[in-house]
Amino acid sequence: MNLDAKVPGGPLEDKWDRHKKDLRLVSPANKRKFDVIIVGSGLAGASAAASLAELGYNVSCFCFQDSPRRAHSIAAQGGINAAKNYQNDGDSSWRLFHDTIKGGDFRAREGNVYRLAQVSANIIDQCVAQGVPFAREYGGLLANRSFGGAQVSRTFYARGQTGQQLLIGAYQALERQIGKGTVTMYSRHEMLELVVVNGRARGIVARDLVTGEMQSFAAHTVVLGTGGYGNAFYLSTNAKGCNVTAAYRAYKKGAGFANPCFTQIHPTCIPVAGDFQSKLTLMSESLRNDGRVWVPKRAGDTRKPADIPEAERDYYLERKYPSYGNLAPRDIASRAAKEACDDGLGVGPGGRGVFLDFSSAIKRLGEDTIRERYGNLFEMYERITDENPYQTPMRIYPAVHYTMGGLWVDYNLMSNLPGLHVIGEANFSDHGANRLGASALMQGLADGYFILPYTIGDYLAGAKLEAVDTSHQAFRDAETEANARLGKLLAIDGTRSVDSFHKELGHILWEKCGMARDRAGLQEALARIPALRAEFWENVKVPGSAETLNQSLEKAGRVADFLEFGELMCSDALIREESCGGHFRTEYQTEDGEALRDDDRFAHAAVWEYQGENQTPVRHIEPLTFEFVKLATRSYK
């Protein structure tokens, strides 16, 4: 497997500018001769589709929702980072780069991350020009707040609806191109196969989810912006439709899958309430700007929070990490909450919760200010829990939220499979072993608006691409494969629902490959998952047919992929004998319980290559070298 990252040499600050100078161009008259398929219309996919069409390429964009506006990006609450230094608090591209590299526990590429910090400033200008209603100060300037893992205020936000507002901006830009006929939008279409011709990605097979028709689409290059795979865990903060299918099918066609075990656990979610829950709700990290996290000092203390005096509370984040306090990064805050609950100090039903308390902020700033900053989040919390967070602390607990693993890409955002580009959460690129808050939106939009539009031209100008259309045998084979898989799922006619398999898989992954993992647990998972998968293919019940709208069938296909992918996650976690970021192996920790990295053995991205059905995939590595930052133990104390 060729893992040449193609990061340009020279000073960090100049890499991207120099690279842009060297990239080949497609002339304006030739751009319309190139067909580009973009799968995904979230922030990454929509921004890429709009930008490429604006440049003149002929774009087809796909999503499985009924409208591109319903992509999961719409759920993002808290904000988007950019090194604008509006606050004069000392921010710079360098600091955003450094925070991101450190936050990711030194498991991301320096060149990519510096470029992300550089273009972050352009993103805000682009979005403001589109009319995104970022919060403003009294004087009219854009407002900022802080997020975990940073000591500056660089997070731009639109109340608790930042993702929604950014997506409306990108969606408008996309709709404009749809109106002009430069983008053909295929909503309610699910990509089920990647088509490779002569070693290059040349198209996809997608199913029309309304009619059930299987269709082939050919292009000169394919872009995946298909989001993350957090739903492998069943319970997560992700939209129920998020899945790994597109990325996993590309992996099966030769694209390397990097760091599949890197999952981000978010510390501030509403705790699990019962066995029949299918979704967890995030309470944005921005709340930790004003909310203080605490647990009672005495185990089993069931008094109401207001009846527990200050002296009998443990504000454990402020105690353990005095300089970052409640804004400690997500992996650290999550582990600290788990430890408190494991020690019997948890609050609420089942003892799996900690308090997020706004009483001192309300006393200091007044209820109206808090309502202005977080009103919709408070309302959402009250609707779900029937508790009023203005009067009593929220109860929160960590949950699966984001996946840092994804398809391997080089500096040009192209996978090792020529012609397959991967953007946004679907790639592995910029966050290392942990994603700091407000950086996923930044990455998705950086990829779509400001990076891919340059690098895709270089590929198209340089590649010798023969004419290929959907009559090619590779498309016929891919369609046959996809149809056969659906037919097989429908024919099983067993007794267990798709959901029951998904739930069991999710339980195994959370318990054995979740916030804390160890060798024995991972080995157990690696024995249980194949057994569960075998049962799935013998005993799953998928009602209905393939010729109509059939959401059970859609779900079954996605769960079938999770059942294979879950094994890859555990294999990856087992081999990485170190703790870093969201990946915590309990065998590798410092005396005070912090993550213990092993830079000598694991300062690399682990990239998996598919070898065929029931064959062990091969693990390759891309070594990570740090020329500009010093590898150091992460400390937020």
Q: Catalytic residue numbers? A: 330
Kind and range of the H or E run holding 52? helix 43-55
DSSP reduced 3-state for 619: strand
Half-sphere exposure of 279 (CA within 13 A, CB side): 10
In the complex with ligand FAD, which residue's Cβ is closer, 60 or 284?
A: 284
In the complex with ligand FAD, which residue's Cβ is closer, 110 or 193?
A: 193
Smallest CA-to-CA distance from 356 within 464, 266, 463 is with 266
User: CB–CB of 581/595 below 8 Å?
Assistant: yes
In the complex with ligand FAD, which residue's Cβ is closer, 114 or 402?
A: 402
Nearest approach, Cβ of residue 525 and ligand FAD (Å) = 24
Nearest approach, Cβ of residue 79 and ligand FAD (Å) = 5
Closest residue to ligand FAD, judged by C-beta, is 42
Nearest approach, Cβ of residue 138 and ligand FAD (Å) = 24
In the complex with ligand FAD, which residue's Cβ is closer, 339 or 481?
A: 481
- Tokens read off for 493: 């006619």
The Cα-based distances of 179 to 53, 175, 278, 345, 482 in angstroms read 11, 6, 37, 57, 32
In the complex with ligand FAD, which residue's Cβ is closer, 426 or 529?
A: 426
Smallest CA-to-CA distance from 590 within 242, 335, 287, 267 is with 335
For CA atoms 446, 269, 227, 577, the dihedral sign is: positive
Nearest approach, Cβ of residue 223 and ligand FAD (Å) = 11
Within 424-518, residue ranges assigned H as helices are 440-445, 452-462, 473-492, 498-513
In the complex with ligand FAD, which residue's Cβ is closer, 237 or 571?
A: 237
Q: At what angle do helices 110-130 and 162-180 cross, to 10 degrees?
A: 70
Residues near ligand FAD, by CB under 6 A: 39-45, 62-65, 71-73, 75-80, 162-163, 190-191, 225-227, 237-238, 242-243, 245-246, 282, 284, 401-402, 424-426, 438-441, 444
Nearest approach, Cβ of residue 219 and ligand FAD (Å) = 14
In the complex with ligand FAD, which residue's Cβ is closer, 166 or 341?
A: 166
DSSP letter (8 states) at residue 427: B
User: CB–CB of 48/423 below 8 Å?
Assistant: yes
Q: At what angle do helices 519-539 and 473-492 cross, to 10 degrees?
A: 90
Nearest approach, Cβ of residue 42 and ligand FAD (Å) = 2
Q: At what angle do helices 551-575 and 498-513 cross, to 10 degrees?
A: 20
Smallest CA-to-CA distance from 274 within 385, 381, 376, 378 is with 385
Rounded distance, CA 22 to CA 25, Å? 9
